[in-house]
Structure 1
Amino acid sequence: MKVTGEETPDEFREKARAIVLRQLAMVDRSRQQLLDAQTSRGIPEEIALEIVDRFEEVGLVNDEKFAELLVRSRMAERPMSRVGLSRELSRKGIDRDVAEAALDSVSVEDEMSAALSLARKKARATEGLDPVVRRRRMYGTLARRGFNPEQIMRAVTIVLDDDIEDTSL
């Protein structure tokens, strides 16, 4: 490549392909994340679009699969609500309709299970603290993950009631 900074369209394409391949080698990315990675490195937008379109044509970029995988992995590894998942998908440039389709796999029971799991984890981490502080921290943690007030209250109540029962045995 030329060092002058005046690259030809073919040189930009070569550079863009390398950027996309490096990005995809690390972890799956959304179409928008790949576009952002290219344009932030000086690739003209029309070339970035051309390269991402080509990767999409051959099946290496697929926002639907990306969204489904992200939802499944987050629910398994880092419990959060549908609202929290929706925010994360939006930040990654996933279209609202694609996000909604991926979120359809999260049931009300899955969401409550995630809230309980997170509340239990926070309860263990705050054991021994003043009950008011402990409750406040649990509420805050669940709220940041997008759970609604009803889900939060229910999960915190269940977990703290379990703690009271465990200590009274």
Structure 2
Amino acid sequence: MALGQRPRRRAREEPERDAPPDPPADPESVARTICLNLLTVRARTRSELAGELARRDVTDDVAATVLDRLEEVRLLDDTAFAEQWVDSRHRHRGLGRRALSQELRRKGVETEVANAALDELDPESERAKAVELVRRRLPSLDRAEPQAAARRLVGMLARKGYGAGLAYEVVRTEMANRGAELDGEIPDDDEV
């Protein structure tokens, strides 16, 4: 090609005008594809998949058929999902029973299934995780007044779903181990 010449453009291929339009997709196939694509990213609950299918205008009977089949071939299992969710979120995010229960409820896991998964979380591992969280946070509160530091630590544990009794006990013990004396009760945010 000589200098200053434009490169030749390829002729665009024109679609055949006589070609028949694609037949409408089978609704079950579409629903199955949607579900499998979602399950490829991460495990989901039946409720999550049903919600997504409804959002994409898949009829209830087609959704039920596809979801039943996914359960039948064990690609969809709310019990296994709940157990995995509780283990992972407790171990990696440090969430307590209450927070885990709320998350499972938002995901559409039935109460009995959620309770069974939460029962696998033994109180000693929950206490150990609370201690770990407090120990990790304590150094950043060295300059704070002991009562204020304790209030912040209890608040952190409460936001992560730990009960008040466990939170107070762990904070009091860990602060005492570091030589901090707490005068009486740990005040609530309203009292400070």
- TM norm structure 1: 0.83
Identity of aligned residues (%): 32
For residue 115 of structure 2, what is the amino acid of its counterpart? Answer: E
Query: Partner of 1:82 in structure 2?
Result: 97
Counting matched residue pairs gives 160
- Residue 129 in structure 1 maps to residue 144 in structure 2: yes
User: Partners in 2 of 1:41 and 1:123 — Cα distance?
Assistant: 48
Instruction: Give 1:26 deviation, angstroms.
Output: 0.8
Q: 1:44 aligns with which of 59, 67, 87?
A: 59
Q: 1:96 aligns with which of 111, 115, 118?
A: 111
User: Partners in 2 of 1:114 and 1:106 — Cα distance?
Assistant: 11
User: Partners in 2 of 1:123 and 1:44 — Cα distance?
Assistant: 53
Query: Partner of 1:139 in structure 2?
Result: 154
Q: Whose RCO is larger (CA < 8 A, sep 6+)? A: 1
* Contact kept? 2:31, 2:63, Cα under 8 Å: yes
Residue by residue over 1:129-165, the C-alpha shift from the partner in whole angstroms, topping out at 9 and shown as x without a partner, is 3434322221111111221111010111122223337
Show structure 2 runs of 5+ residues with no match: 1-20, 181-192
Query: Partner of 2:133 in structure 1?
Result: 118
User: Partners in 2 of 1:24 and 1:125 — Cα distance?
Assistant: 40
Query: Partner of 1:64 in structure 2?
Result: 79
Query: Partner of 1:53 in structure 2?
Result: 68
* 1:164 match: secondary structure: coil
**Cα pair distance change 1:18/1:157, threshold 3 Å:** same
- Residue 149 in structure 1 maps to residue 164 in structure 2: yes
User: Partners in 2 of 1:11 and 1:124 — Cα distance?
Assistant: 60
For residue 36 of structure 1, what is the amino acid of its counterpart? Answer: G
Residue by residue over 1:78-111, the C-alpha shift from the partner in whole angstroms, topping out at 9 and shown as x without a partner, is 1222222211111111111111111121111112
User: Partners in 2 of 1:139 and 1:32 — Cα distance?
Assistant: 34
* 2:112 match: secondary structure: helix
Greater helix share, 1 or 2? 1
Show structure 1 runs of 5+ residues with no match: none
User: Partners in 1 of 2:146 and 2:97 — Cα distance?
Assistant: 28
* Contact kept? 2:150, 2:172, Cα under 8 Å: no
Please give the root-mean-square deviation of Cα atoms over the aligned residues, in Å. 2.2
